[in-house]
Amino acid sequence: MRHQVVLQENKSLREYNTFAVPATARYFIEINERDELQGLVDPQQYVPRPFLVLGGGSNVLFTRDFEGTVLKINIKGISSSAEQDGEVLVEAGAGVVWNDLVRFCVEQGYAGIENLSLIPGSVGAAPIQNIGAYGVELKDVFDSLEAFDILTGEFRKFTREECEFAYRDSVFKNRYSGRFVVVSVRLRLSTVFRPNSSYGAIEVELRKRGIQRPGIRDISEVVSAIRVSKLPDPSTIGNAGSFFKNPVLSDEEFNRLRKKFPDVVNFPMSDGRVKVAAGWLIEQCGWKGKKIGHTGTWMNQALVLVNHGGATGKEIYALSQDIIASVHDKFGVILEREVHIV
């Protein structure tokens, strides 16, 4: 069967990126159904390469126009099936808004992703960078995903092991970068709720609300409230959430850093390494709430770069360069961008 794709030309991407920076796609295709992806490799159709897969546009910074074809993935649908021992498999299309999936699971009483409430973006983007927040990462509940291979034109299933998850990383950001389009994601959740409230300010917020035995909805609401208090709304000010990864240091590297800076905010990891709060490092360098031209950092969270209106991607990228340099000069730590740069 032939799968016709509708190729749009010279498409503005301003409304498709949460930084709201100006950029144009030479070609643009919306993918609404799984099988439409096969039209990308149909020899009877001309779909210019390279491809750039776009979900919610909440983890990308355009510093230039894109001369290939942007694929906007809109594949929807959420389904669930009971497993043994209180487990449930939940599958969602790549185009589902991530927080819509979280809300569905909370309403159904499926536990495991409530700590990931209000993370912006789509379901399809979640495994690409192994999203995480408040002590939980996607890999903790991940079962498998289906992806379309642009090289072979075939669909393929990936298990958790095959995704090679790491901190904000996966095989799709490295060896398979640009080759696969995520179609759907399957999570293994639980009908038995065990609250994970030890990370960040969750316990503090629960106490403020007088909640001693939190349920799944309580955790979701508290996490959402914390995020709203710290992070700007992309609908009112352009941003992509956390712009940098938290640096991960060896125990030796961290001890050297702590000798000079005893107050450094850190999170010990199970493998003996230590994650250092990038927001703290940036704030100590005087960047929090600072405005540079049309861009700057958010007043409540130095980890977030913002577009105050009229900023270009190049301006925001230049600001990130300056921040990286100042953190390295002061702490000897190199920050790595979490946001995908085009």
pLDDT digit string, tens, across residues 147-176 = 999 999 999 999 999 999 998 899 999 899
Mean pLDDT, range 58-63, rounded to an integer: 94
Q: What's 32's DSSP letter?
A: -
Residue 255, Cβ neighbours under 10 Å: how many? 11
Residue range 210-247, pLDDT digits in tens? 888 999 999 999 999 998 888 888 888 999 989 999 99
Q: Distance between CA 160 and CA 170 in Å, rounded? A: 10
What is the enclosing helix (H) or strand (E) of 223?
A: helix 216-230
* Residues 6+ positions from 62 with CB-CB distance below 8 Å: 13, 17, 19, 21, 22, 23, 313, 342
pLDDT reading at 17 higher than 80: yes
pTM: 0.90
Which of 334, 135, 165, 133 has the alpha carbon at shortest distance from 253?
334
Q: Domains, the chain, ranges and CATH?
A: 8-73 (3.30.43.10), 78-190 (3.30.465.10), 238-341 (3.90.78.10)
Three-state DSSP at 74 gives coil
pLDDT category of residue 199 using cuts at 50, 70 and 90: confident
Which of 226, 334, 202, 321 has the alpha carbon at shortest distance from 278?
334
Mean pLDDT, range 109-131, rounded to an integer: 94
Mean pLDDT, range 175-188, rounded to an integer: 95
End-to-end C-alpha distance for the chain, whole angstroms = 34
pLDDT reading at 285 higher than 90: yes
Question: Token digits for 197?
Answer: 């409230």
Question: Quick check: 69 and 51 in contact, CB under 8 A?
Answer: yes
Give bridge partners of residue 149 from the DSSP assignment: 180
Residue 26, Cβ neighbours under 10 Å: how many? 15
* Among 221, 242, 320, 337, the one annotated catalytic: 242
* Among 34, 114, 168, 186, the one annotated catalytic: 168
Question: Token digits for 59?
Answer: 């983890």
pLDDT reading at 200 higher than 70: no
* Among 36, 205, 221, 338, the one annotated catalytic: 338
Residue ranges in 269-339 assigned as alpha helix (H): 278-284, 313-331
pLDDT category of residue 335 using cuts at 50, 70 and 90: very high
Mean pLDDT, range 259-287, rounded to an integer: 93
> Mean pLDDT lowest for which of 20-29, 123-132, 203-212?
203-212
Residue 175, Cβ neighbours under 10 Å: how many? 9
Is 168 in the active site? Answer: yes
Is 336 in the active site? Answer: no
**So what's the pLDDT on residue 139?**
96
Q: What's 28's DSSP letter?
A: E
Q: Distance between CA 273 and CA 25 in Å, rounded? A: 41
Question: Quick check: 290 and 296 in contact, CB under 8 A?
Answer: yes
pLDDT reading at 112 higher than 90: yes
**So what's the pLDDT on residue 3?**
67
**So what's the pLDDT on residue 277?**
94
**So what's the pLDDT on residue 198?**
79
Question: Quick check: 134 and 223 in contact, CB under 8 A?
Answer: yes
